[in-house]
Amino acid sequence: MCEANAYLVREDGSEELLLKAVDKLTIDGDTVYLVDVFGRQERLRARVRSLALVDHKILLERTETP
Amino acid sequence: MCEANAYLVREDGSEELLLKAVDKLTIDGDTVYLVDVFGRQERLRARVRSLALVDHKILLERTETP
């Protein structure tokens, strides 16, 4: 399976695991929707910073509130 | 290998293949940088619309110019 783990990058640069085995990610405005291979869902105000698919890694960062 | 193919979604909804076997994707402002497993690179003004990793699919859409 080619899912990836989604991490939230904190301001200090450390990474917090949000959801493992993510299959689908959808962006709608400043909201990121994640769905893992088991159908579990997460939603957060964030943006995608980077993907490293061979390393199974999705990095997200919080959207600053204006 | 768990790379994905990156497509640009046109205004009519059709999908144009941009780069196969993408390993890394990085977003910097309104620019998306893609690197495939062979080190080939693409750069375009776009945003990520969605990922479907089990289907090996990354969908991007052009950033509207202001």
Q: Is B17 exposed, middle or buried (0-12, 13-18, 19+ CB in 10 A)?
A: exposed
**pLDDT tens-place string over residues B13-61:** 999 999 999 999 999 999 999 999 999 999 999 999 999 999 999 999 9
Choose among A22, A50, A54: nearest Cβ to B37.
A54
CA angle centred on B54, ends B32 and A13, rounded to 5°:
50
- Which residues of B, range 18-57, sit inside 8 Å of A by Cβ? 22-27, 37, 47-54, 56
Provide the ipTM.
Answer: 0.90
The widest CA-to-CA distance across chain A, in whole angstroms, is: 38
**Helix/strand/coil percent split, chain B, to 5:** 0, 65, 35
Rounded Cα distance, B27 and B41, in Å: 13
The model carries a pTM of 0.92
CA A52 to chain centre: 12
Residue A37 in this model has a pLDDT that exceeds 90? yes
CA B18 to chain centre: 7
Instruction: With beta carbons under 8 A apart, name residues in chain B contacting A26.
Output: 49-51
Average pLDDT over residues A20-47: 96
